[in-house]
């Protein structure tokens, strides 16, 4: 299993005290990547066949290009994070590839529709491929620059400030630069590119919270007043959670971005819980959340609309409920096994290639296919969580847990919204949806997770003292590791 | 047409299963720190290393729950202040017993105590090898070695 490529970098560590080398498992990663590439090529082939396009060697070239792109990422991981988790990159590659195929497939349908109505239609897939390449480059940059995730703690407050700045930026800028698109003011238009700074702010703020919680951990565990038999945290310890609640509500108000605020709030809550192991924080957080929801529902019209369409989308199936009704019809058409790639009509749903891409996939791959993709997401988050459990420093644990949870929370919010489990909030499915910022930010997130998993699985070096020189008995010490009550 | 549809779904699930297989091979690793590799050589090495005592645990008595990590130095047990494990026990002598490493095994020896040291009901008169998990009784205190 050990790779010759990693030998140079780890020459010093290979001969550690135990005399064994931990496997890097990069070979597993490469074969899984090849598997993912094969799957994506097969998907593309099916789409072409079902759309009656000519099946040419072109498809194979696309598949090879895709494999080459992730091959570069693989080589980088092999060089810069040789002990990283072998499953994270293939899962990401598969999701991204299926997303690209799906976006291409919706492009074909939209182009056909545009041809019939003689209207203009811009293909989304070239842009998305470009973004994928940029995102992989970003992924490499993060892996290269951050050699040790613990260095991030030094810039905790800086990251926090920059994150807040980015989060609030679209709200305060004039609408020439920050236009209101689809009812939300979260985009920045820079030349031809539109980016969502909130996506990057999310990761920066997560780093800040992890660093903050590591330094202030004791304060949170210290009990305050006891009210009704529950240890309430002291008021000043409540500061950060109240602050975070305030920020997320502020974002909700100013940018009408329900998804991001929900994601942000939930992730911080989970990090607090991970740091303190006290369920009271969940209670405090959820009650604050309920309060915020009630207030938002009372105050803002667009929240009321969302809730109403969630409760009864068929009340206005051609107006407000149109998106969700079409998504439900799409999922219903797909049924258990789906219509087959390229054989359905997923383009009827608005935003079929971004927010509603899970509905499109559910229609063409059915429950079986969508469940498999959700499992891939779950595996991704699980590997992240596992790295967080195994890593030895507290900051890594908190950051890894937070990032993994943020990823799976995004999936929950978007899939829950599309399937009418929770009110629909505009958020993209990580790696699947069309959207450059989301893709870029999620690749950075995955690079950080890989860095943490590399630290977690790297064999320890020279931590245990060797039993060679025996100290005098007087210096032998008693270590109290654990004492039951 | 139907065949390709089903075939693709099957492939998709095959990917998930392959991923789960990788997860499974990791599950057997201890606490996620080291990854298990199938193979005889490695597992044999693990077996002998896994059996080496790592800590001494007090299972009964006033100090129950105390753990001392074994780092190769001898463990002195008794009422003396400079003992590694200081017993506050009327039945223990000032210097009661010693547990020390000889080669790869740990041995317990009685240092001329009044009430004696017992290794699994047998009175310790000469240095005896201590197997993993065997109770050593000193007065009202029972200790054992664990990996």
Instruction: Give me the helix-helix angle, A88-117 and A357-390, nearest 10°.
Output: 160
State how far residue A473 is from chain B, nearest Cα, in angstroms: 7
Of chain A residues 332-371, which have a CB less than 8 A from chain B? 337-338, 340-341, 343, 365-366, 368-369
**Cβ atoms within 10 A of the Cβ of A321, count?**
20
The string of pLDDT tens digits covering residues A366-406 is 999 999 999 999 999 999 999 998 888 889 999 999 999 99
> pLDDT tens, A152-183?
988 888 888 888 888 878 877 777 777 776 66
Query: What residues in B contact A59, CB-CB < 8 Å?
Result: none
Chain A residues closer than 8 Å to B68 by CB: 478-479
The residues near A470 (Cβ < 8 Å, ≥ 6 apart) are B72, B73, B74
A-contacting residues of B 63-92, CB under 8 Å?
64-69, 71-76, 82, 84-86
Instruction: Tell me the ipTM for this assembly.
Output: 0.80
Mean pLDDT of chain A: 81
How many whole angstroms separate alpha carbon A392 and alpha carbon A400? 11
Give the pLDDT of residue A404.
Answer: 95
The domains of chain A are located at 26-457
B6, B18, B42 ranked by CB distance to A35: nearest: B18
Task: Check residue B43 and give its pLDDT.
Answer: 42
Q: Which of A31-45, A47-61, B89-103, B123-137 has the highest mean pLDDT?
A: A31-45
Partners of A194 in beta bridges: A189
Burial of residue B21 (CB within 10 Å: 0-12, 13-18, 19+) is exposed
Q: Is A232 exposed, middle or buried (0-12, 13-18, 19+ CB in 10 A)?
A: middle
Cα B33 to its chain centre, rounded Å, is: 18
Residue A247 dihedral angles phi and psi, to the nearest 5°: -65, -45
What CA–CA distance (Å, rounded) separates A36 from A103?
A: 17
* Nearest CB to B66 within list A22, A366, A483: A483
Q: What is the pLDDT of residues B131-146, one digit of tens each?
A: 888 889 888 888 888 8
Secondary structure element (H or E) that encloses residue B48, with its range: helix B40-50
Q: With a cut of 70, say whether residue A478 has pLDDT above it.
A: no
Does residue B60 sit at the A interface (CB-CB below 8 Å)?
no
A375: contact with B, CB 8 A cutoff: yes
Give contacts of A 408-467 with B, CB under 8 A. Answer: 456-457, 459-460, 464-467
What average pLDDT does range A18-34 have in this prediction? Answer: 77
Q: What is the pLDDT of residues A410-447, one digit of tens each?
A: 999 999 989 989 888 878 889 998 888 899 999 999 99
- Report pLDDT for A434: 87
A 86-145 → B contacts, CB under 8 A: 86-87, 90-91, 94
For the whole model, what pTM was predicted? 0.73
Inter-chain contact A32–B18, Cβ cutoff 8 Å?
A: yes
Q: Give the CA radius of gyration of chain B.
A: 24
């Amino acid at each position: 299993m050990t790779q010759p490529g990693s030998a140079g970098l780890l020459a010093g560590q290979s001969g550690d005290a135990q005399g064994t080398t931990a496997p890097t498992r990069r070979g597993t990663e490469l074969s899984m990547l090849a598997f993912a590439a094969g799957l994506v090529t097969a998907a593309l082939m099916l789409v072409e066949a079902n759309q009656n396009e000519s099946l040419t060697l072109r498809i194979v070239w696309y598949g090879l290009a895709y494999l080459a792109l992730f091959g570069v990422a693989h080589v980088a991981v092999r060089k810069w994070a040789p002990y990283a988790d072998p499953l994270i990159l293939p899962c990401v590659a598969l999701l991204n590839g299926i997303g690209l195929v799906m976006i291409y497939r919706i492009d074909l349908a939209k182009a056909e529709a545009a041809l019939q109505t003689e209207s203009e239609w811009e293909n989304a897939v070239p842009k998305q491929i470009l973004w994928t390449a940029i995102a992989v480059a970003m992924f490499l940059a993060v892996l290269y620059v951050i050699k040790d995730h613990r260095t991030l703690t030094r810039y905790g407050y800086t990251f926090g400030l920059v994150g807040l700045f980015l989060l609030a930026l679209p709200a305060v800028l004039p609408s020439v630069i920050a236009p209101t698109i689809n009812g939300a003011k979260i985009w920045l238009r820079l030349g031809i590119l539109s980016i969502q700074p909130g996506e990057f702010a999310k990761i920066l703020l997560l780093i800040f919270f992890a660093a903050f919680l590591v330094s202030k951990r004791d304060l949170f565990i210290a009990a305050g007043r006891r009210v009704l038999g529950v240890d309430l945290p002291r008021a000043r310890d409540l500061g950060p959670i109240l602050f975070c609640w305030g920020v997320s509500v502020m974002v909700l108000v100013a940018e009408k971005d329900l998804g991001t605020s929900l994601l942000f709030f939930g992730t911080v809550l989970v990090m607090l819980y991970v740091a303190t192991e006290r369920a009271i924080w969940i209670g405090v957080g959820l009650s604050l959340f309920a309060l915020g929801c009630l207030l938002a529902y009372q105050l803002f019209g667009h929240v009321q609309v969302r809730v109403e369409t969630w409760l009864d989308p068929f009340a206005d199936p051609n107006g407000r409920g149109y998106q969700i009704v079409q998504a439900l019809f799409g999922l219903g058409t797909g049924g258990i096994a789906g219509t087959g790639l390229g054989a359905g009509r997923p383009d009827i749903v608005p935003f079929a290639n971004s927010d509603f891409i899970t509905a499109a996939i559910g229609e063409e791959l059915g429950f079986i296919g969508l469940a498999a993709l959700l499992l891939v997401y779950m595996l991704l988050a699980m590997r992240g969580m596992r790295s967080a459990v195994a890593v030895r420093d507290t900051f890594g644990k908190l950051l890894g847990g937070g990032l993994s949870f943020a990823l799976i929370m995004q999936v929950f919010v978007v899939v829950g919204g599309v399937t009418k489990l929770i009110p629909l909030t505009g958020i993209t499915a990580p790696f699947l949806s069309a959207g450059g910022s989301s893709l870029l930010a999620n690749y950075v997130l995955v690079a950080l997770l890989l860095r943490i998993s590399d630290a977690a699985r790297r064999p320890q070096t020279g931590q245990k003292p060797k039993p060679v020189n025996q100290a005098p008995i007087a210096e032998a010490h008693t270590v109290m590791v654990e004492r039951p009550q | 047409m139907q065949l390709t549809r089903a075939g693709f779904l099957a492939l998709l699930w095959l990917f998930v299963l392959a991923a789960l297989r990788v997860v499974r091979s990791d599950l057997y690793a201890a606490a996620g720190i080291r990854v298990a590799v199938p193979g005889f050589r490695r597992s044999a090495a693990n077996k002998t290393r896994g059996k080496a005592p790592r800590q001494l645990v007090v299972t009964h008595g006033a100090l129950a729950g105390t753990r001392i990590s074994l780092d190769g130095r001898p463990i002195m047990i008794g009422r003396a202040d400079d003992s590694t494990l200081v017993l506050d026990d009327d039945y223990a002598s000032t210097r009661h017993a010693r547990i020390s490493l000889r080669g790869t095994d740990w041995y317990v020896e009685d240092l001329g105590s009044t009430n004696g040291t017992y290794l699994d009901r047998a009175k310790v008169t000469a240095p005896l090898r201590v197997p993993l998990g065997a109770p050593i009784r000193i007065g009202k205190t029972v200790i054992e070695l664990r990996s």
